[in-house]
Amino acid sequence: MEILYRSTRSDAAPIKASQAILQGLSEDGGLFVPTSVPKLDRSFAELARMSYQEVAYEVMKLMLTDYTEEELRDCIARAYDSKFDTEEIVPFAEADGAYYMELFHGPTIAFKDMALSILPHLMITAARKNHEEKEIVILTATSGDTGKAALAGFAGVEGTKIIVFYPKNGVSPIQERQMVTQQGDNTCVIGIHGNFDDAQTGVKKIFTDSAMKEEMAKKGYQFSSANSINIGRLVPQIVYYCYAYSRLLKEERIADGDAVNFVVPTGNFGNILAAYYAGLMGVPVHRLICASNSNKVLYDFFQTGEYDRNREFMLTSSPSMDILISSNLERLIYHIAGDDAAKDAALMKDLSEKGVYEITPQMREKLGLFVGGYATEEETAQAIRELYEDTGYVIDPHTAVARHVYETYRKDTKDETVSVIASTASPFKFEGSVMKALGKYEEIPDLDLADRLSAIADVAVPEAVESLRGAQVRHTTVCGKDEMEAQVRRFLGL
């Protein structure tokens, strides 16, 4: 069955997966969603006998139907290879009554590698399939992790350029160092005076500027995105939820058909939306537990049915979740509205113009799978400290938010369903916050601090951090949020 992709905001004719991946964002500003979600055609008993790469093929072949088997297997083989530091790609750690799905063993030690290792290959293949000869310009906003993962994926890839905007004072020292030392003549990294929402809004504005798009086309360029608004980011993320279920089955932690909980630290909503799609594809899901930090716009939404970004923006120790406009939530809104593009477009217009929208009671009834929770800064630090003291296992602040929310949920509901916590980043990416939580922080250079953390956690410093020692800073530009378009023009020579 061919799966096509349509916009969340209009009834324009649906397009093929490769075309949606190339475009990134629909011309009407909407996000691409599948016209239907196919069911897995392999049993979980069969998937349990497969490697990560094989499970990836079985899931992605159903969603990216215009890619041939040879094309898709080639993309997967190039993505999930020795750049990951474990052969299993996604290992699991059991600690204190939950299973931690470690999504941070890729080249930039964050879960974004799971999708951004394959997106360049999907995109270049898509360009060939569609006889697209323009150079692809990846335009991306990052709250810290997407930027480096996208840069690592696209650096040196022929026929592409990549421009990353990040909030200058809104990422960790290691995150910033990873980005500004990025090699590759086709890469451009720019800090902005503003927060992630400012960066994301600016990128979307440039994307939908028809005059600029026309100007770029004349110069032989076309925009695409590596943000989770791109369906080519989202589909690979569905894989690891299917894989997680198959591993639990293989290890006899569950019986086939048992429902499980997924606990996901969430900012832009893409990671937990992938779990939702995995459920639609056949993974037995009991609850999707959406974990927020102090920027609890999603928690409030699940409590009230009202999404309101009109609030103070908090800078926290989990910066990848410091987000007030959760772009991927729009895909869920579209689905619970009965795939009604007009209704979705009206709500997104309210969000743009008033900063707030409210869903109907009928839509709220379709959110039964989701549970919201949040952790304060103190609770996040406590979760890191207590898990280490009880088990010796060290987690990063984003995973700690999920752990606190899960413990609160389990205590309040007495739900003992087997639960998988998405561990989205290595503690070495946020070693300052982790060491403070453990009560072992020192005012020393960040890479020296990484060595201290290594000794405490009894884990080697990852190559992604080790390689930063002595790395030359190549990207120094910082601009105002209203100067983003000018910086894009400068880099492209427009």
Dump pLDDT digits (tens) for 34-91: 999 999 999 999 999 999 999 999 999 999 999 999 999 999 999 999 999 999 999 9
Q: Is 305 exposed, middle or buried (0-12, 13-18, 19+ CB in 10 A)?
A: middle
The strand ranges marked E within 221-292 are 221-224, 260-265, 285-292
pLDDT digits (tens, 9 = 90+) for 408-456: 999 999 999 999 999 999 999 999 999 999 999 999 988 899 999 999 9
* pLDDT score recorded for residue 458: 94
The list of the chain residues with pLDDT below 50 reads none
Tokens of 224: 């695409």
Backbone phi, psi, residue 314, to 5°: -100, 135
Nearest-Å Rg of the Cα atoms of the chain is: 21
* pLDDT score recorded for residue 241: 98
* pLDDT score recorded for residue 145: 83
* pLDDT score recorded for residue 143: 84
**Tokens 């406009």 correspond to what residue?**
325
Q: How many Å separate Cα 81 from the centre of its chain?
A: 20
Cβ 192 vs Cβ 167: under 8 Å: yes
Alpha-carbon torsion (26, 30, 31, 33), positive or negative? negative
Distances (CA, A) of 58 to 15, 18, 55, 258: 22, 18, 5, 21
* pLDDT score recorded for residue 402: 98
Strand 5-7 with 187-193, pairing: unpaired
* pLDDT score recorded for residue 226: 87
Measured distance CA(270)–CA(329) in Å, rounded: 8
Q: Which of 303, 261, 298 is nearest to 278 (CA)?
A: 261
Tokens of 490: 């400068």
Distances (CA, A) of 378 to 299, 388, 401, 407, 427: 18, 16, 10, 15, 17
Q: Annotated active-site positions, please?
A: 112
* pLDDT score recorded for residue 452: 96
Q: What angle do the packed helices 270-281 and 329-336 form, to 10 degrees?
A: 40
